[in-house]
Amino acid sequence: MNKINIAVIGAGTVGSAIAKALVKEEFVNKVIATRRRAEKIKWLEEHGVEISSDNVKAAKDADVIILAVKPNKIREVLEGIKEEIRGKLTISLAAGLSLKFLKSLAEAKFVRAMPNIAILVGESFTAYATNDLSEEEIALVERIFGAMGKCLRIEEEYMDAITGLSGSGPAYASVFLESMIYGGLKVGLPRDIALLAAAQTLLGTAKLLLETNLHPAQIRDMVITPGGTTIDGIFELEDSRVRTAIMKAVDAATKKSKILSLEIEAKQGKI
C-alpha cells in the first residue's frame, strides 16, 4: 500500500491527539494539522506533524481528511474545502451530524465517527458508520482508528447511543473514579494512594472483562464472599440506586445528542 497524506482540520483537543498518533504510523507519509491559530499547535512540529492555518492547501495535499472541528463549524469548513475533498475519504468526528447531511455539503466519501477522549493515550473506543466505501477504504479507516485504540463499524442509527455511552463515557467514569478516591480519603488513605488504587482497579476490571469475556455479574460474584466485606459495600451501592443513575445518564446524553443533531442540521442547512 502506498503511504498516505492525512489532513487533520481543526487540531484542538481531539484533532491534535489524532495527528500525533497518526504521524508515527508506518502507512502514513505525512500529517498536516490545521487550526486558525496555528501557533497554538507548534508543539506538534516536534512530533513530525506539519502545521498550518490553510485548510485548502492541507486538504489538497491529503489523501484522507479528518474533520475535527466542532459540529457548528462543519458547514463553514466544508464550504471552504469542498473542491479539494471531492471523491476523497473524509472522516467527520462531529457529534450529531449525519452522513446524509455531510453528503449534502460536499461530494466526498464520508465516514461518521465517534471516538472518545482516551484517544490522548491511544485507548479510545471509536465507533464509525459509512455506506459507500470499498473494502480497501474500510481497511484504511480501521488502520487509522486502530492507531488510536479500538474501533468498530456500526449502523448509523446507533451513533447517538454511542455518543451517549462511550463518547461521554470518560466523563461518567471520571465521576465514578472521583467517588472511589473520595471513598479512599474518607477511610484515611493518602490522596496519591487512593488515586492509584482507584484508577488501576477500574483499568484492571475493564481489562479482565475484555480479556476473559466474563459478564460483569460474574466478576462481581468472584469478589463477593458470603458474609464478607464486599457484600456490605454492594448493599450500600444497590441502596443508592447507582445503576439507575448511570443508566439515566446514558439515556439523557443520547436524547441530547438526537436533539442537537436536529438543531444543528436545521440551523446549518444545505450549502
Q: Which residues bind ligand NAP (CB under 6 A)?
A: 9-10, 12-15, 34-37, 40, 55, 68-71, 73, 76-77, 93-95, 114-117, 167
Give the residue with the Cβ less far from ligand NAP, 77 or 102.
77
Q: Shortest distance, CB of residue 114 to ligand NAP, whole angstroms?
A: 6
Nearest residue to ligand NAP, by Cβ distance, number only: 12
Alpha-helical regions (H) of the chain: 13-22, 55-61, 74-81, 99-105, 135-146, 159-162, 169-186, 191-212, 216-223, 230-239, 242-268
Give the residue with the Cβ less far from ligand NAP, 68 or 253.
68
DSSP string for residues in 178-204:
HHHHHHHHHTT--HHHHHHHHHHHHHH
Q: Shortest distance, CB of residue 63 to ligand NAP, whole angstroms?
A: 19
Annotated binding residues for NADP(+), as ranges?
68-71
Three-point CA angle 212, 155, 13, nearest 5°: 75
Annotated binding residues, as ranges?
55, 68-71
**CA–CA gap between residue 208 and residue 201 (Å, rounded):** 10
Alpha-helical regions (H) of 115-158: 135-146
172, 246 in Cβ contact below 8 A?
yes
Give the residue with the Cβ less far from ligand NAP, 76 or 232.
76
Give the residue with the Cβ less far from ligand NAP, 40 or 243.
40
Give the residue with the Cβ less far from ligand NAP, 64 or 93.
93
Q: Shortest distance, CB of residue 213 to ligand NAP, whole angstroms?
A: 27
Q: Shortest distance, CB of residue 148 to ligand NAP, whole angstroms?
A: 11
Annotated binding residues for NADPH, as ranges?
55
Q: Shortest distance, CB of residue 43 to ligand NAP, whole angstroms?
A: 13
What is the end-to-end Cα distance of the chain in Å, rounded? 35
